[in-house]
Each structure stands twice: as structure tokens, then as C-alpha cells.
Structure 1
Amino acid sequence: MARVLVGVKRVIDYAVKIRVKPDKTGVVTDGVKHSMNPFDEIAVEEAVRLKEKKIASEIIAVSCGPAQSQEVLRTALAMGVDKGIHVEISGPEYKTLQPLHVSKILAKIAQNEKVDLVIVGKQAIDDDCNQTAQMTAGFLDWSQATFASKIEKGDNDITVTREIDGGLEVIKSKLPAVVSADLRLNEPRYATLPNIMKAKKKPIQKLTPKDLGVDVSPRIKIVSVEEPPTKQPGQIVPDVDTLIAKLKDAGLC
């Protein structure tokens, strides 16, 4: 049976309206509700389903970030993950943490834990980078299957249905492999109260990037964080001729 590593990220909850700090150095996070990245929830659910089908033997969840990142690890443990690993990164280093750094960390832990499959969300809803799975596979030199909407395990491979611009594509990848979860892969379960209580007793290992030999020095500089421009209100026109005239005046046709 396979050992599975899942990446989980703590992000501002999807239902919260994002506000930019007055000094434009970032977004307001103090007192703001955070939760697990929705695509990572899907990744966790898929790993748990693999274990329920007796395909996976153990699931390990990893989160990189400040002390509060343990909250999403506890959520993953309550969903059915066996063990959590918290790679603590805080302060300025966390603000400039990039998928490149996270990929190196995931790759190193995947090697240390001798896992057969890495599943992560296809992207995080805060930075929308969509890079971590691809770079993790690159560092490990493993096969990859991104944007997965269905995963089927074979003897020593996986068959993945993935969503592309033209529709659906089915590929077969040898194990070990890295998979990124798309929206339609599954519907994540709610953690029950008994499982939430059990999760409090499950182990969370604490590490630092230095423990893993990963340099998380900033590779970018945040110059300014800006609000998107205010959308101008629409106009109702009486007929097509007026519409065409306005489009011509705006240089749009």
C-alpha cells in the first residue's frame, strides 16, 4: 500500500472580504478568519478515500507557516490524516515565502518519509500561483498529473483524468508521482466532533526549513499591494445604433 503526503495551506477564508493595509505592505490578517485552502481540502479528502479503499497505508499532512498553521493540520487530522508535520516559518520570511520554497520543503519531506504519492491542491486561493505541484515533481524527478478530476490506482501506477481547456484528458503515471487536485475531484467531508477530539491526540511534528536544509531567503520584494480598480457602472442604451456609436467613441470597434 502507498504512503501519501498531502500539502495543506492556511489562507484567509474564502468568504472574507479582503482588505489592503493602509501602508500597502500587504492585506489585513489580524482578527480575520482563516481556514484550510479549499483545493487542499479536496486533496486531503482524496487521500483519506484512498486509505478507506485500502490503497493508502498512511497519510501525512504538511503545512508551512506560522504557529497558527497547526489549526489546518488539526483539521486535516480530524478528516482522517494520520500524522501532521508543521514547518514553522513566520515573520518576514513567511511574507515572501514562494511556491519554490514550499516545493523544496515538500520534496525533502517526501524523500525523508519515503512516500509514494504527493497530493496538493492545484492552487491556493490567496496567491493563485498554481506552481507547487509542478515544481515539487521537478525537484523529486517524479511523474506528475495536474488538475486531477479523477484518480484510479493501479499496481504500480495511477490513471488520472485531468481537466484541460479542450475538455478531459486521461493519462497514466508511474509511481511515485505528484498530483494536484482540481475542484471536481471530490466533495470534502465535514470533520465530526468525535474525530475532532481524536485529532487532538494525533502527533504533529515540528520542523524548521533549516532542519530540512532548505533556504527560504526572500527571492522577491513586495513593492506595494493595491486594491483592484473600481469597476465603472454599466450603461443602458436604447438601441444597437447607440451601442455601436459608444463603442466607436471608446475605440472598441
Structure 2
Amino acid sequence: MDVTAGGTAGRPRRIVVCIKQVPRAQELQVDPVTQTLKRVGVPSEINPPDANALEMALQLKDRLGTEVVVLSMGPTSFDESLERAVAMGADRSVLLTDRILGGSDTVPTAYALSETIQKIGGYDLLLCGEETTDASTGHVGPGIAGHLDLPQITYVSEVRIINGKVRARRTAEDGTEWWETTMPCLCTVNFGCNRPREPTLTGKIRVKRGGLVTHWSCADVGIDPKKVGLFNSPTIVAKVDTVRLPSRSGQIFSGEPEESVRKLLASLVADRVIAA
């Protein structure tokens, strides 16, 4: 990661990282009435690709003293993930929280986050995870770039910022590509491209002292209520089914190798895993 120091107007570069708190994959629950995921009262974590985006931003900070601002949208329970991000090394965090945001799909979410980013202001680089584990759409990052009229590079695993331009390695179907664009811009970060660090004791102490997680409502940001929320989301979930996996059992074939292999093959044929 090769980065040239210096933001606009002589200040340090400002990176805004968008993160989402998601239910842990094994704890997913769907509200039978609203057909949306339950997000309160279930074990949660920072969306893994967002954690990779945060780590990328923190690596920039380690090299240059870059300011890292973390942004999320959701209920106040999302403070848990924002506090963890600050404990990992982010400078401060902002939570956009308002009842009228409930049930928003990717369209109003991208709009609301872009408005909040404009209120934060002074950004040089926006980082988002490639997608979320609770929806896997990959829409929000590009949507934010669209609202802010910013160039974007998606599915990034490496970033170099040289002379005010971003040069990023992008994952493609048949390998990787190198793309370059001017700043400010937005990049979506590949899941697993780095290893997110753990919170530090110093970071935890900063969180304990308070004042590093700011709450804004839609009114604070100037968000149009008619553009957010469940009833202003074009995505309609018609039906949700719970898939119950069949029970599994193991079988051990012992004895001489040839006999064991013969029994294994016969079992695979009987279970129609392979053809006779």
C-alpha cells in the first residue's frame, strides 16, 4: 500500500469507512411480520468485508496519520460495532439512527449514507466492504458513489494513492486488473484481502472515556423522510423460507485398504453420489 501524504487544504487525508453491524451468520432470524432480519437482541458483528475495509483504512493511518471516520446506519445497538472500530484505531464514528430509517433497503440506505457523508465533509477516500453477509447485494457502495457523483473502483484488494490519485488492484473473473482514478473517490474492498486487527487496550480506554460515537438523526442530516424507510424501498420480500438441513451421520470403513475402498465406492453408488 503506497500512499502520498497530504489531504486538501493542507490537512491530513480523511477516510470515511462505511460499516454495518450484521447478525452472525449462524444467528440469522427473520421477523415473520415484516419479513426483514431481526437486528436487535441477536449476537452481531461488524460485517466481515467492512472489517477488511476498516483495516485498509487503519493501515493508511499507520503510515500517514490519516484521519479515519467510521460511519454506520441503524439502531443504537450498532454502537457496539462503532466502539469496536474506535478501539481498533479509528479516530471517531458517526451513527445515523432514526426510527423512520427502519426497513430501508439498499436504495434509501445509499441515499441516507451519502447525505451523511456530505455532512461529515472533507473526505478524500470512501471505503466500503464489497457486500454484506446479511444481503449480499453489493449495491450500497456503488449507490453512494452515484449519489455523490464520485469515481469508484469495486472489489479492491490493494490501494496505492500517489499524487492525489488512487491506483487500485481490482479482482476480476480471470485475474486482477489495475485501475486509476482521481480523488475523492470510493472503493469497495474485497472480503479476506487482509486480516483485521484486534482492539487495543489503549483503544478500549479511549472508548471508555466516551465522546467518540456521535448520533445523528435524519433531521440533523437533512434527509428527506419520503426517501427512506420500508415503504420507500423498492425491494419487496414476498416470502421467506427457513431451510432445514437433513441430519448427517458418519460412517467409517475399516480393514484392508482395498476392501475399505470397495465398501466406500459401494456406499457412494448406493447414495447416488457417483454412478455405478
Matches within 5 A, 1:191-210: 191-200=199-208, 201-210=210-219
1:40 aligns with 2:50: yes
Checking the alignment, whether the CA contact within 8 Å between 1:100 and 1:132 is kept in structure 2 is yes
Determine what percentage of the aligned residue pairs are the same residue: 23
Matches within 5 A, 1:185-224: 185-200=193-208, 201-214=210-223, 215-217=227-229, 218=231, 219=233, 220-224=235-239
For 1:168-222, what per-residue CA distance to the aligned partner results, in whole angstroms no more than 9, with x for missing partners?
0110111010011102431100002331121233422211223323331322444
1:227 aligns with 2:236: no
State how far apart, in whole Å, the 1-side matches of 2:148 and 2:33 are. Answer: 40
State how far apart, in whole Å, the 1-side matches of 2:222 and 2:14 are. Answer: 23
Instruction: Summarize the Cα distance change of 1:100–1:26 in structure 2 as closer, same or farther, 3 Å threshold.
Output: closer
Find the residue that maps to 1:183 and give its secondary structure: coil
Deviation, structure 1 residue 103? 1.6
For 1:19-54, what per-residue CA distance to the aligned partner results, in whole angstroms no more than 9, with x for missing partners?
445668345555421111111111111111111111
Partner residue of 2:163? Answer: 155
Amino acid at match of 1:105: A
Amino acid at match of 1:36: I
Q: TM-score, normalised by structure 2?
A: 0.77
Partner residue of 1:8? Answer: 19
Amino acid at match of 1:100: V
Higher Rg of the two aligned structures:
2
Partner residue of 2:255? Answer: none
Partner residue of 2:180? Answer: 172
> Which of the residues 96, 113, 127 maps onto 1:87?
96
Q: Which runs of 5+ in 2 are unaligned?
A: 1-5, 7-12, 249-266
> Which of the residues 243, 247, 253 maps onto 2:275?
243
Deviation, structure 1 residue 86? 0.8
Deviation, structure 1 residue 229? 6.8
Q: Which runs of 5+ in 1 are unaligned?
A: 245-253
State how far apart, in whole Å, the 1-side matches of 2:85 and 2:69 are. Answer: 9
Checking the alignment, whether the CA contact within 8 Å between 2:157 and 2:171 is kept in structure 1 is yes
Checking the alignment, whether the CA contact within 8 Å between 1:82 and 1:202 is kept in structure 2 is no
Checking the alignment, whether the CA contact within 8 Å between 1:4 and 1:58 is kept in structure 2 is yes
Checking the alignment, whether the CA contact within 8 Å between 1:24 and 1:224 is kept in structure 2 is no
Checking the alignment, whether the CA contact within 8 Å between 2:49 and 2:192 is kept in structure 1 is no
- Paired residues, number: 239
> Which of the residues 24, 42, 57 maps onto 2:66?
57
Q: TM-score, normalised by structure 1?
A: 0.84
Checking the alignment, whether the CA contact within 8 Å between 1:209 and 1:216 is kept in structure 2 is no
1:133 aligns with 2:110: no
Find the residue that maps to 1:101 and give its secondary structure: helix
RMSD: 2.7
